[in-house]
Homo-oligomer: A and B are copies of this chain.
Amino acid sequence: MRSFTFFERVSRAFHNNSSHFKLVALCTVSGGGLLAYAEAASSEAVSDKKKVVVLGTGWAGTSFLKNINNPRYEVHVVSPRNYFAFTPLLPSVTCGTVEARSIVEPVRNFFRKKNLDIQFSEAECIKIDAKNRKVYCRSNIENNLNEKEDFVVDYDYLIISVGANVNTFNTPGVVENCHFLKEVEDAQKIRRTVIDCFERASLPNVSEEDKKRILHFAIVGGGPTGVEFAASLHDFVNEDLVKLYPGIKDFVKITLLEAGDHILSMFDKRITAFAEDKFRRDGINVKTGSMVVKVSEEDISTKEMKNGEVTTIPYGMAVWSTGIGTRPFIKDFMKQIGQANRRALATDEWLRVEGCDYVYALGDCATINQRKVMEDIAAIFKKADADNSGTLTVKEFQEVIDDICERYPQVELYLRSKQMSDIADLLKEAKGDVAKESIELNIEEVKTALSKVDSEMKFLPATAQVASQQGAYLAKCFDRMEECEKNPEGPLRFRGEGRHRFKPFRYKHFGQFAPLGGEQAAAQLPGDWVSIGHSTQWLWYSVYARFIAAPKGDCSRHRNPQIFEDVDNHSNSQTVEAVLRYSAMDCFLVSQDIKEPPNINPYLC
């Protein structure tokens, strides 16, 4: 009877705390003759895994799921979409260049071949209860009785990667009358609506004035999405629709409305100028400095930024693409954790939500709150002052500079912006013309020397690249949670003891494309390399063809043979070279192995 009670106790220990697992296993082996129990225990231990709940299957969530490999977790994915969509190709779906099916992949495919305990529920998160570590969800599938099912999921760790919704800036009539371009369904709806406009304008008894209105396509927002959609629509109309609807082609008008002074303002000026010039030649009406103040059923009202004049333009279809906003349940969660006044969830550099344990946030729904050097300057000084002399020598500083640069990447960026090779140069600047060896600075002098470094802090853009890298980073952290607990690999904790468990997240920018239609594109690549024109379009195709055609075997050429063949036929040596140079972009595209590409600056965006 005694041994049985022992088993019972061991069993309870398994259930109560999974970290006892290895310890118990040792006990059983040393106890002898207990092999049968050990086996039973290891299958029992399944329910004892840490439960990771992932919200969302966009770039961030999918990248996390693709990269997580540690079988010690039980992963539950909750997302209203059971597929991942390759969003950079959404504008191409609006015009049928690419079929919706070619840009989506079922998320279940990602975990099919993994030896991981992953569950997926097609549902929306409606509330996070961080105190009790629960997530409230609602299925988005209607059942036969037109009801939707609610359920609650417990978590040990919560990963929020739900993206953002469209920001209408509370402009009246936008939600009711405009199309958006964030989801696959949006793109398909736009495609149907464009054709509907052409069909409506072709009906008998439609006046010329009505034809003009119906075939006026208004795009609000001159960012990359708006610009690419305007370009795709222009090509679609001029290459395909004019052949099918020859009688009404002269009534078509495309207008791109932008509140700022230029379209593509986040790009290099050369790209902006090229795009504006190309659109002018194409007959796309670019109205900058013009803010939309109201959208009614048949008219858009805009206000000129320079003189406040309000103009009303009749339209047939309007697409709104001006930026991102916060999802309602995230807003609610932010109130809970004291972040009510922010646009997105603030996290630290390890993607942990500030003020909330066990919760991580990444992608468009989050921003990293980079710690300022000046906030921590006293702690940094203290840690660096190894001999407690009250002053820092260059040597003392150099001992910790790697940790400082890792913890506060703005320091490295600042040095680079000033073309300084070493921290000594910065200290020297503060101290004046003194020999490097004899420099010694007190706390005030160090403050002066580092006073400007925080100006180099940058917010990361809300792009697929950032989200994808964050997902892969977090998966690696989770995979090595225990390993790094024992052997922390992060920088020194300046305000605490020891080292941080992980290195903080670092974004690597691999460039950005802006397809401009007519087989022209612009790309802004790291190191200020700007590429514009026909070859850039083929570079763009090539990069995306890698996603569509290459790496996964079963997604293969069948997915979108047209694009693939175009790339085959047109790949000249210039394109091929560019593709080779940017094979590093793989990490952006397939988000599996982040390799450091040659000569690309970290943390440049």
Q: Which residues of A contact B (CB under 8 A)?
A: 82, 96, 99, 101, 106, 108-109, 112, 119-123, 139, 141, 143-145, 149, 151, 153, 177, 195-196, 199-200, 202-206, 243-245, 297-298, 316, 557-558, 561-562, 565
Give min CB distance, A210 to chain B, whole Å. 9
Supplied contacts A121-B199, A121-B202, A149-B205, 4 more A-B pairs, CB within 8 Å: A122-B199, A139-B200, A144-B298, A149-B203
Contacts of A112 in B (CB 8 A): 243-244
Q: Assess whether A121 is in contact with B82, with CB atoms less than 8 Å apart.
A: no
A143 touching B82 by the CB < 8 A rule?
no
Known: A99-B99, A298-B145, A562-B558. A204 touches B244 (CB 8 A): no
Distance, CA A378 to CA B146, complexed state (A): 65
Q: Which residues from B are CB-within-8-Å of A122? A: 199-200, 202-203
Question: Which listed residue, B99, B139, B141, B200, touches A141 by the CB 8 Å rule?
Answer: B200
A206–B565 Cα distance when bound, in Å, is 46
CA distance A524 to B562 in the complex (A): 37
Bound-complex Cα distance A176 to B19 (A): 54
- Complex-state Cα separation, A108 to B153, whole angstroms: 52
A139's contact among B145, B203, B562, by CB below 8 Å, is which?
B203
Alpha-carbon gap, A421 to B506, bound state (A): 91
Q: How far is the CB of A153 from chain B (nearest CB, A)?
A: 7
Q: Given A298-B144, A298-B145, A558-B562, do A153 and B204 touch, yes or no (CB 8 Å)?
A: yes
Cβ contacts under 8 Å, A96 to chain B: 101
Q: Name the CB-closest residue of B to A296.
A: B144
Number of this chain's copies in the assembly equals 2
A194 to B571, CA, bound (A): 41
A216 to chain B, nearest CB (A): 12
Give the nearest-CB partner of A107 in chain B: B244
Closest to A240 in B: B106
Q: Write out the residue numbers on chain B whose beta carbons fall within 8 Å of the beta carbon of A200.
A: 122, 139, 141, 143, 149
A150–chain B nearest beta-carbon distance, Å? 9
**Closest residue of chain B to A316, judged by CB?**
B144
- The docked-state distance in angstroms from the alpha carbon of A143 to that of B205 is 14
Can you list 5 A-B contacts (CB < 8 A)? A99-B101, A109-B244, A141-B199, A144-B177, A145-B297
A149 and B144 CA atoms in complex are apart in Å by 34
Q: Which residues of B contact A101 (CB under 8 A)?
A: 96, 99
A525 to B204, CA, bound (A): 46
Kindly list chain B residues whose C-beta atoms are within 8 Å of the C-beta of A205: 149, 151
Q: Nearest 8 A-B pairs (CB), nearest first?
A: A122-B199, A144-B297, A108-B244, A141-B196, A151-B204, A151-B205, A141-B200, A144-B298
When distances are taken between beta carbons in the complex, the residues of chain B under 8 Å from A204 are 121, 151, 153
Do A558 and B558 form a contact, CB below 8 Å, given A122-B203, A196-B141, A244-B109? Answer: no
- Quote the shortest CB–CB distance from A218 to chain B (angstroms): 12
Determine how close the nearest CB of chain B comes to the CB of A301; give it in whole angstroms. Answer: 15
Hey, which chain B residues are within 8 Å of A120, CB to CB?
202
- Would A203 and B244 count as touching, CB distance under 8 A? no
Q: Which residue of B lies closest to A102 (CB)?
A: B99
Contacts of A153 in B (CB 8 A): 204
A239 CB to nearest B CB, Å: 13
List, in ascending order, chain B residues with CB within 8 A of A149's CB. Answer: 200, 203, 205-206
- Taken together as a complex, chains A and B put the C-alpha atoms of A120 and B145 apart, in Å, by 40
A195:B144 contact, CB within 8 angstroms: no
Closest-CB distance, A55 to chain B (whole angstroms): 15
A108 and B245 within 8 A (CB):
yes
**Closest chain B residue to A200, Cβ basis:** B141
**Shortest distance in angstroms between A415's beta carbon and chain B's nearest beta carbon?**
51
Report the nearest B residue to A109, measured CB to CB.
B244
Distance (whole angstroms) from the CB of A97 to the closest CB of chain B:
12
- Complex formed: what's the CA distance from A109 to B240 in Å? 11
Q: How far is the CA of A141 from the CA of B197 in the complex (A)?
A: 9
Complex CA gap A145/B203 in Å reads 16
Q: Give bound CA distance, A202 to B297, whole Å.
A: 41
Residues of chain B contacted by A141 (CB below 8 angstroms): 196, 199-200
Closest to A82 in B: B199
A243 proximity list for chain B (CB < 8 A): 112
For residue A215, give the distance in angstroms from its CB to the closest CB of chain B.
13
**Contacts of A206 on B, CB cut-off 8 Å?**
149
Most chain B C-beta atoms within 10 Å of own C-beta, residue among A123, A204, A561:
A204
Q: Inside 8 A of A298's CB, which chain B residues have their CB?
A: 144-145
Most B-side CB within 10 Å, residue of A82, A121, A141: A141
CA A122 to CA B195, docked complex, whole Å: 11
Whether B151 and A203, one on each chain, are in contact in the complex, defined by CB atoms closer than 8 angstroms, is yes
Residues of B within 8 A of A316 (CB): 144
Q: Cα distance A561–B96 when bound, in Å?
A: 17
Q: How far is the CB of A192 from chain B (nearest CB, A)?
A: 10
Contact present for B244 and A106 (CB under 8 Å): yes
Please give, as numbers and ranges, the residues of chain B lying within 8 Å of A196 by CB-CB distance. Answer: 141
CA of A121 to CA of B204, assembled, Å: 8
Chain B residues, Cβ within 8 Å of A144: 177, 297-298, 316
Q: Report the separation of the CA atoms of residues A109 and B246 in the bound assembly, to the nearest whole angstrom.
A: 12
A145 CA to B109 CA in the complex, in Å?
Answer: 43
Cα A149 to Cα B96 in complex, Å, equals 27
Tell me, in angstroms, the Cα distance from A558 to B560 when the chains sit together.
8
Contact residues in B for A561 (Cβ distance below 8 Å): 557-558, 561
